[in-house]
């Protein structure tokens, strides 16, 4: 029998706020500094944003860009923008002006919500934007600020106050957001999420992380990363409390955890290392259990053990922007609790199995045949399911390539253990994941090649205690040319986001194959084996 109006409604995370504004109207929804908004107030402000956008001429299918830190306005954008039928384009706050300009132009955004401190760092991009700019002035800003022409955020909200915006979703496959990822080659790709995928992934987070109405979620994970792994919608769905956090500072994180009784937070392993480094005392333990979800780079068993020694309960997940953030979780077996800490940490370091709502996960060879579950055979991780992107925005060929054979190809290599849990053994061929940020080596190399003294170069990721890995450039200069590491570093910083610039330089002759191809595997081996030797020593 077909679905009918009485037994079917398109899935959308917008329904989560509608429910919470009724069920949890007077419960704390958002905390920022010493200010608190109830769910009734949070819903009203999201509606006011939607109303103001409608008054500004926004129509369903339009795009609204947001260059904001983890402040309440960013949460409001996750509901207020899609309430109009528009798509939210949350921009990485660490990008260069050129990269921000590319995203604004490629997405065709008509409105830009921008923090005045962030605007100062990408002023040329904001000045060249042809749409409406709405600026947010935050008293907590610490750096230089610049107020672009256009209304202030609170003034803009006032224009929509009292306006009840109702967006009737006809098709749950309607896009809700675009998240840009640098991928492996230069210009970023726009990953399109649907209302259905966002709603189901949010429910998946609730199931896998145990969110409930009593939960208090600390925003250590940037909301521009995969829409905060869909936690803006997940936390709201259960009526839990969002604790906003403008910039990550480990000492302030400990204060907020204690002040608000934080129960959940997410972050890359680099965030965990920073928390450990700022531990209030060598014997410090959380006053109450804190559920920490980590991803973006494989955490070491040592790191996992150290975090759990503080009284945290760590969940290891793995995914990509193309799958709304996490797709796999190292699902825990109660009997593993009896194992020694080192063995528990080793098991937890694996990427695990598919989320409850995203059950299709395989590790395959080049013919899309499953590799043996022996913990040895390498294959590519491929995925299929409710939380795979709709595709790359305005890039049909890249979408077709990513979906070849009816599966999303991650480009990551893994093994399958006899119990069915996967474990990554290598990353995409050249991508560097530094502090949770993807860095394209090709993009960095192309920038270095623009320097008149550079004849050849190769960029790889090398070990770093704080960021996991950072870019290192191996450079061969042109005959008779001169250049210093500092000169090349400055050259890169003028053209790239600073986190993409090489932290180390080595001038040398590059190892090559018989056909003249640079052998990056040799460079990686010497850098990483040397690091392991130093650690063992």
Each residue of 346-387: pLDDT tens digit? 899 899 999 999 889 999 999 999 999 999 888 899 999 989
For the sheet containing 111-115, what is the strand order? 132-136, 111-115, 63-67, 87-90, 175-181, 189-194, 391-392
Residue 143 predicted with pLDDT over 50: yes
| Average pLDDT of span 436-457 | 84
Query: pLDDT digits over 391-407, tens only?
Result: 999 999 999 999 999 99
| Average pLDDT of span 282-302 | 87
| Average pLDDT of span 42-66 | 97
Q: What is the pLDDT of residue 212?
A: 98
CA distance 348 to 332: 8
Q: What is the pLDDT of residue 356?
A: 94
Residue 428 predicted with pLDDT over 80: no
Residue 13 predicted with pLDDT over 60: yes
Q: In angstroms, how far is the first alpha carbon of the chain from the final one? A: 68
% the chain with pLDDT above 70:
95
CATH 3.40.50.980 fits 14-163+172-217, yes or no: yes
Q: What is the pLDDT of residue 515?
A: 41
So where are the chain's domains? Answer: 14-163+172-217, 355-426, 432-536
β-pair partners for 264: 217, 291
Q: What is the pLDDT of residue 73?
A: 98
Q: What is the pLDDT of residue 532?
A: 44
Contact 204, 357 (CB under 8 A): yes
Q: What is the pLDDT of residue 230?
A: 98
Q: What is the pLDDT of residue 533?
A: 37
| Average pLDDT of span 496-505 | 94
CA distance 161 to 227: 25
| Average pLDDT of span 148-166 | 93
Residue 534 predicted with pLDDT over 60: no
CA distance 184 to 431: 6
Structurally, at CATH architecture level, domain 355-426 sits in Roll (2.30)
Residue 297 predicted with pLDDT over 90: no
pTM, two decimals, is 0.84
Angle between helices 269-277 and 301-308 (to 10 degrees): 50
* Average predicted confidence (pLDDT) for the chain: 92
Domain 432-536: state its class: alpha beta
Residue 513 predicted with pLDDT over 70: no
Confidence of residue 17 (pLDDT cuts 50, 70, 90): very high
């Amino acid at each position: 029998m077909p679905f009918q109006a009485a037994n079917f409604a398109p899935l959308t995370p917008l329904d989560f706020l509608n429910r919470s504004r009724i069920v949890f109207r007077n419960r704390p929804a958002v905390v920022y500094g010493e200010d608190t908004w109830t769910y009734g107030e949070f819903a009203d402000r999201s509606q006011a944003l939607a109303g103001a956008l409608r008054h500004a001429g926004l129509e369903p299918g339009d795009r609204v860009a947001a260059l904001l830190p983890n402040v309440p306005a960013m949460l409001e954008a996750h509901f207020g923008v899609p309430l109009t039928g528009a798509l939210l384009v949350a921009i990485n706050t660490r990008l260069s002006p050129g990269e921000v300009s590319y995203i604004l132009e490629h997405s065709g955004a008509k409105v830009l919500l921008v923090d005045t401190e962030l605007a100062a760092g990408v002023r040329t991009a904001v000045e060249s934007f042809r749409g409406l700019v709405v600026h947010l002035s935050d008293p907590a800003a610490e750096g230089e600020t610049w107020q672009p022409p256009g209304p202030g955020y609170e003034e803009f909200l006032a224009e929509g106050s009292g306006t009840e915006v109702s967006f009737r979703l006809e098709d749950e496959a309607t896009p809700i957001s675009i998240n840009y990822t640098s991928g492996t080659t230069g210009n970023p790709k726009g990953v399109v999420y649907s209302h259905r995928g966002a709603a189901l992934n949010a429910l998946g987070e609730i199931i896998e992380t145990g969110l409930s109405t009593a939960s208090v979620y600390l925003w250590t994970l940037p909301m521009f990363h995969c829409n905060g792994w869909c936690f803006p919608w997940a936390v709201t769905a259960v009526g839990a409390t969002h604790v906003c956090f403008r910039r990550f500072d480990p000492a302030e994180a400990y204060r907020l955890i204690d002040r608000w009784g934080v129960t959940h937070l997410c972050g890359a392993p680099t965030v965990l290392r920073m928390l450990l480094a700022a531990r209030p005392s060598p014997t410090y333990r959380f006053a109450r259990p804190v559920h920490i979800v980590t991803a973006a780079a494989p955490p070491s068993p040592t790191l996992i053990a150290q975090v759990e020694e503080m009284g945290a309960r760590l969940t290891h997940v793995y995914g990509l922007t193309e799958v709304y953030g996490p797709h796999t979780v190292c699902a825990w077996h109660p009997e593993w609790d009896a194992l020694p800490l080192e063995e528990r940490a080793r098991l937890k370091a694996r990427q695990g199995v598919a989320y409850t709502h995203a059950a299709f996960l395989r590790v395959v060879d080049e013919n899309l045949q499953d590799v043996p579950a022996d913990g040895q055979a390498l294959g590519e991780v491929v995925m299929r399911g409710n939380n795979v992107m709709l595709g790359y925005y305005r890039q049909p060929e890249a979408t077709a390539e990513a979906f070849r054979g009816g599966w999303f190809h991650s480009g990551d290599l893994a093994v399958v253990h006899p119990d069915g849990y996967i474990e990554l053994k290598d990353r995409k061929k050249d991508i560097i994941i530094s502090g949770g940020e993807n860095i394209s080596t090709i993009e960095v190399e192309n920038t270095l090649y623009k320097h008149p003294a550079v004849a050849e170069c190769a960029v790889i990721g090398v070990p770093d205690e704080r960021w996991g890995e950072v870019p290192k450039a191996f450079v061969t200069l042109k005959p008779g040319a001169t250049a210093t590491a500092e000169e090349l570093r400055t050259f890169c910083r003028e053209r790239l986001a600073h986190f993409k610039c090489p932290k180390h330089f080595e001038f040398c002759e590059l190892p090559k194959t018989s056909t003249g191809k640079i052998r990056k595997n040799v460079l990686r081996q010497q850098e990483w084996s040397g690091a392991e030797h130093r650690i063992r020593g």
